[in-house]
Amino acid sequence: MTISEYISSLGDNPYFGAGSGIFALGLGAAVLRRGAQGALILFRRHFMITLEVPCRDKSYQWLLNWITQKGARQTQHLSVETSFLQKDSGHVQTKYDFIPSTGTHIMYYSGNWIQVQRTRESHTLDLHMGVPWETVTLTAFGRNKNIYFKMLEEARQLALKETEGKTIMYTADTNEWKPFGHPRQRRPLTSVVLDEGISEKIANDCKEFIHSSKWYSERGIPYRRGYLLHGPPGCGKSSFVTALAGELEYGICLLNMSNRAMDDARLNGLLNIAPQQTIILLEDIDAAFVSREDTEEQKVAYRGLNRVTLSGLLNALDGVASSEGRIVFMTTNYLDRLDPALIRPGRVDMKEYVGHCTKYQLEQMYRRFYDGPDVNNFAEKFAENVLKLSKPVSPAQVQGYFMVHKLSDQQHVVDNVSELSKH
């Protein structure tokens, strides 16, 4: 009897016709479906390996950028990410990257076919980033996790290559750090001329600290370092920190202490989650809070600016929960306004005055802008003439003067230093 004849004969069967046969077939189909689902689950569990990367993970953007270069060409379903690249000349160029859109995609990597599933929860937001929650799930045959380690490491190296030779600036956004603006071309340390020996002294101290983690650990000393640069405005404090970050191949976390949204808890959290290999820069630290030495009038003036307290800052800098391996630079125009507790050893390990131009600075700056066989004589004469002025000048003033006269005759530059008072 053929199968078709057998099925036809079921209609003459009284039990089957009464419904029992239909129930049996339905039950059998359900069992087969359940069995197939179970077999698929067991197969995926034992013969496939899956990696889920949520959008909150640091490697999420690295992975998307990597997929853009490695896998986007193998799919026709794309979404666009627009970015801007800043060239060495300062010109900003628009860049369009096509990445796999939400959905399922297939890519081939290192001898393996990999399913890439990008999902987006339209009703769920990442509260920190304010964007829909996303995940990328990778599925491949086998049980070897090394394929994903290799993939993530390639993605990380690709991200590092894109910022190679550049300094990344971070700013605080709610309770996390975010890159700010375009990665900047590293500024040479010699481009910021401080008084003789100061740049080298600070840079050497930082380098020694970076390579001394074992020494700190063996002696039970908290592994962190604090610096304070003080002096008049326009003398190169912040510029030096930027150049130093380039010298150390570090980024910069810029923290605005006068932000009204800042409080003790947020400050402490931000200092403890700063990205690795970054300098934390607290500019104009004197304007952050009320000092114990302030008069009642000053306290009234400060009131309402923000919610950061001196005790909160002190605890964030060297409290029991403070992070290790941290480099903090603070700047101020008014050293006398700082509370002694803030600048004691342990919180500030090195204090340096960055002031108006000395003879050494004036000569060095002149040589950076001009050249020629008699540049040394012109540089010395320029420094002498500037120091004869009634008021000291800052490096910012001198640079502004040089920019105005960048194409002028050097004798003219030397003879007209009185114009410095206008810059």
Total-model pTM: 0.74
The CA distance from 395 to 354, in Å, is 10
Torsion of CA 343, 348, 349, 352, to 10 degrees: -80
CATH classification of 184-353, choosing from 3.30.200.20, 2.60.40.290, 3.30.460.10, 3.40.50.300?
3.40.50.300
Q: What is the pLDDT of residue 275?
A: 87
Which residue would you say has higher pLDDT here, 253 or 146? 253
Percentage, residues of the chain above pLDDT 90? 33
* pLDDT per position as a tens digit, 359-413: 999 999 999 999 989 999 999 999 999 999 989 999 999 999 999 998 889 999 9
120-125 average pLDDT score: 66
* pLDDT per position as a tens digit, 272-284: 888 889 999 998 8
User: Of 127, 74, 131, 82, whose CA–CA distance to 105 is shortest?
Assistant: 74
* pLDDT per position as a tens digit, 178-214: 888 778 888 899 999 999 999 999 999 999 999 999 9
The CA distance from 224 to 328, in Å, is 8
Residue type, 418: S
Q: Which residues contact 67 (CB under 8 A, 6 or more apart)?
A: 99, 100, 107, 116, 136
Which residue would you say has higher pLDDT here, 75 or 166? 166
217-226 average pLDDT score: 90
* pLDDT per position as a tens digit, 8-42: 565 555 654 555 555 555 666 666 676 666 655 65
46 CB neighbour count, 10 Å cutoff: 8
DSSP assignment string, 249-308: T-EEEEE-TT-TT-BHHHHHHHHHSPPSSEEEEETTGGGSS--TT--HHHHHHHTTS-B-
Q: What is the pLDDT of residue 67?
A: 81
84 pLDDT band, cuts 50/70/90, is low
Q: Which residues contact 306 (CB under 8 A, 6 or more apart)?
A: 257, 258, 259, 260, 261, 262, 263, 288, 289
Q: Which helix (H) or strand (E) holds 63?
A: helix 59-70
Longest dimension (CA), the chain: 121
* pLDDT per position as a tens digit, 288-341: 765 555 555 555 555 545 578 888 888 888 865 567 788 999 999 999 989 999
- Could you tell me if 118 and 105 are in contact, meaning their C-beta atoms sit under 8 angstroms apart? yes
First-to-last alpha carbon distance for the chain, in angstroms, is 107
Positions of E strands within 289-381: 326-332, 350-353
Encoding tokens for residue 412? 């003219």
